[in-house]
């Protein structure tokens, strides 16, 4: 495939507005691209206007399955007037392509699609199967990867690459991510007679105070560092002269293998249950979603092979890194089948979700070359 066509694919993907929705439009475009090159794909609906996509090439009889995976959605743009260029115009200047999703992660998505197309067009003999997986909703709950994992899409994988932005460096580990609500129920009353009511806000603040030290005994991960936890949203009360009968908060926790999601959820329940022993306190915990931490051994064949290819492709030693975000890998690896996974893609991690998000086009090209060589190494 010509370089200009590859850049056009990336630009087209960015021009499709898939802000927290409309992934079906992205899936339809990718499906047509694949069809134009003789690749059959399956679009799997999730909801109205939202769909995952799976495609596969190679030896259909092989039990070796290498996966390239990424999400089709992006986060919101914020105020479009604050951008240098329209975030869906995929404008190029000084070898930088600007747009929402340029880094996170339509550059990785494009490079993966191009890899399948190149291998199919070149009729590269593969001794295994190369599976492309595109998911909905990674930015807001990872419902696509959860759905596909439940359907068994990861049950036969040999290895997986997630194409999130890593700046061409290799991420072998990342934290989990757990979001939760705590609801406080009180009794409403006139503010002139607070003794007649139970203040839901006051009781919820007891949880905030307890949460601040609830994880003090958590160990520190040698790879990922300390468990990180924060209360991030707090809402309560309706009127200044009424004792609030309801209040709620949201929190986010970044689990580590040494204090994992199960341990975190148990500690949250312990904290809420202890507070509920106090007179008038009525708190309820709800875990919204729970992504587990991911670690692949630095000396694993997947990590070392990818690094060797990338070192040569970039002309210098790339870094082995950890990140403290979470990815679709946390859902895919809930499969009962065990397989290594890395995160590797174009675009800087700190460009993700940012105003004037961009990707360096040379980096995009290098990463696509790494994907293709990696597949050929594992499956040729």
Out of 272, 291, 310, a domain closes at 291
Q: Are residues 152 and 187 in the same domain?
A: no
pTM for the predicted model, two decimal places = 0.90
Are 160 and 64 within 8 A, CB to CB? no
Specify whether 302 is located in the same domain as 183: no
210: Cβ contacts below 8 Å, ≥ 6 apart: 271, 274, 275
Q: Tens digit of pLDDT per residue, the chain (380 long)?
A: 899 999 999 999 999 999 999 999 999 999 999 999 999 999 999 999 999 999 999 999 999 999 999 999 999 999 999 999 999 999 999 999 999 999 999 999 999 999 999 999 999 999 999 999 999 999 988 999 999 999 999 999 999 999 999 999 999 999 999 999 999 999 999 999 999 999 999 999 999 999 999 999 999 999 999 999 999 999 999 999 999 999 999 999 999 999 999 999 999 999 999 999 999 999 999 999 899 999 999 999 999 999 999 999 999 999 999 998 889 999 999 999 999 999 999 999 999 999 999 999 999 999 999 999 999 999 97
CA distance 298 to 270: 36
Q: Could you give the CA distance from residue 283 to residue 285 in angstroms, rounded to a whole number?
A: 7
Pair 361, 316 in one domain: yes
pLDDT at residue 92, as a whole number:
98
Indicate if 122 and 143 belong to the same structural domain: yes
Give the residue from 307, 348, 344 showing the smallest Cα distance to 329. Answer: 344
Torsion (CA) 67, 104, 326, 142 in degrees, nearest 10: -70
231 and 127 in a common domain: no
CB 16 within 8 A of CB 100: no
* Same structural domain, 168 and 52: yes
Q: What's the rounded Cα separation, in Å, for the pair 235 and 212?
A: 18
Same domain as 307, residue 262: no
Task: Please write the tens of the pLDDT for every residue from 46-103.
Answer: 999 999 999 999 999 999 999 999 999 999 999 999 999 999 999 999 999 999 999 9
What is the chain's percent helix, strand, coil content, to nearest 5?
Answer: 35, 30, 40
205 Cβ contact partners less than 8 Å away, ≥ 6 residues apart: none
Helix (H) and strand (E) counts for the chain? 9, 20
pLDDT the model gives residue 167: 97
CA distances from 139 to 21, 73, 143, 168, 349 (A): 10, 7, 9, 21, 14
Which of 268, 291, 314 is the endpoint of a domain? Answer: 291
- 230 with 144, same domain? no
Q: Are residues 285 and 303 in the same domain?
A: no
pLDDT at 64: 96
Cα dist from 176 to 203, 256, 291, 322, 323, whole Å? 29, 6, 5, 12, 10
**pLDDT score, position 156:** 97
Residues forming a β-bridge with 294: 174
CB 347 within 8 A of CB 108: yes
As given in the structure block, the two tokens for residue 143 are 């419902």
> Same domain, yes or no, for 247 and 345?
no
Task: Give the per-residue pLDDT at 99.
Answer: 98
Least Cα distance to 217 among 179, 249, 173, 264 occurs for 264
Give the number of domains in the chain: 2
Residues 151 and 188 in one domain: no
E-strand ranges in 38-135 read 41-47, 50-58, 65-71, 91-93, 96-98, 129-135
Using the 3D structure, point to which of 244, 261, 291 is the last residue of a domain: 291
- Identify the pLDDT of residue 90: 98
- CB contact set of 50 (below 8 Å; sequence gap of 6+): 21, 22, 23, 24, 136, 137, 144
Structure confidence by residue, pLDDT tens digits, 101-156: 999 999 999 999 999 999 999 999 999 999 999 999 999 889 999 999 999 999 99
Length of the chain (residues): 380
Which pLDDT score, from 0 to 100, does residue 8 have? 98
CB 370 within 8 A of CB 58: no
- CATH number of the domain bearing residue 185: 3.30.70.360
Do 301 and 169 reside in the same domain of the chain?
yes
Domain hosting residue 272, numbered range: 177-291
d(CA 266, CA 14): 41
Residue 1: per-residue pLDDT: 87
- Under DSSP, the state recorded for 318 is P
CA 297 to CA 106: how far, in whole Å? 27
CATH number of the domain that residue 36 is part of:
3.40.630.10
């Amino acid at each position: 495939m010509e370089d200009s066509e590859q850049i056009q694919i990336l630009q087209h993907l960015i021009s499709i507005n898939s802000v927290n929705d409309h992934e079906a439009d992205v899936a339809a475009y990718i499906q047509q691209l694949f069809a134009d090159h003789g690749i059959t794909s399956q679009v799997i609906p999730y909801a109205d206007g939202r769909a995952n996509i799976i495609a596969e090439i190679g030896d259909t009889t092989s039990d070796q399955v290498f996966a390239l995976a990424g999400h089709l959605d992006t986060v919101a743009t914020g105020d479009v007037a604050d951008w240098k260029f329209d975030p869906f115009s995929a404008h190029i200047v000084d070898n930088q392509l600007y747009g929402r999703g340029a880094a996170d992660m339509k550059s990785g998505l494009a490079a993966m699609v191009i890899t399948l197309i190149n291998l199919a067009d070149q009729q590269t003999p593969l001794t295994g199967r190369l599976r492309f997986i595109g998911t909905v909703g990674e930015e807001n709950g990872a419902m696509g990867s959860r759905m596909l994992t439940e359907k068994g899409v990861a049950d036969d994988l040999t290895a997986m690459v997630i194409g999130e932005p890593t700046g061409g460096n290799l991420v072998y580990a990342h934290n989990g991510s757990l979001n939760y609500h705590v609801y406080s129920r009180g009794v409403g009353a006139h503010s002139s007679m607070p003794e007649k009511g139970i203040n839901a806000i006051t009781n919820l603040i007891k949880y905030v105070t307890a949460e601040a030290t609830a994880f003090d005994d958590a160990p520190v991960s040698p790879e990922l560092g300390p468990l990180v936890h924060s209360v991030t949203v707090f809402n309560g009360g309706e009127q200044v002269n009424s004792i609030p009968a309801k209040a709620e908060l949201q929190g986010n926790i970044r689990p580590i293998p040494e204090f994992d999601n199960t341990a975190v959820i148990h500690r949250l329940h312990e904290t809420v249950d202890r507070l509920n022993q106090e007179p008038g306190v009525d708190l309820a915990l709800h875990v919204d979603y729970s992504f587990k931490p991911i670690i692949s051994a630095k000396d694993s064949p997947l990590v070392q092979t990818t690094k060797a290819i990338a070192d040569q492709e970039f002309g210098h030693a790339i870094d082995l890194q950890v990140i403290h975000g979470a990815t679709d890998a946390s859902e895919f690896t809930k499969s009962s089948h065990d397989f290594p996974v890395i995160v590797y893609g174009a675009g800087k991690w700190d460009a993700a979700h940012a105003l004037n998000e961009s990707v360096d086009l040379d980096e995009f090209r290098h990463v696509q070359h790494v994907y293709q060589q990696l597949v050929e190494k594992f499956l040729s």
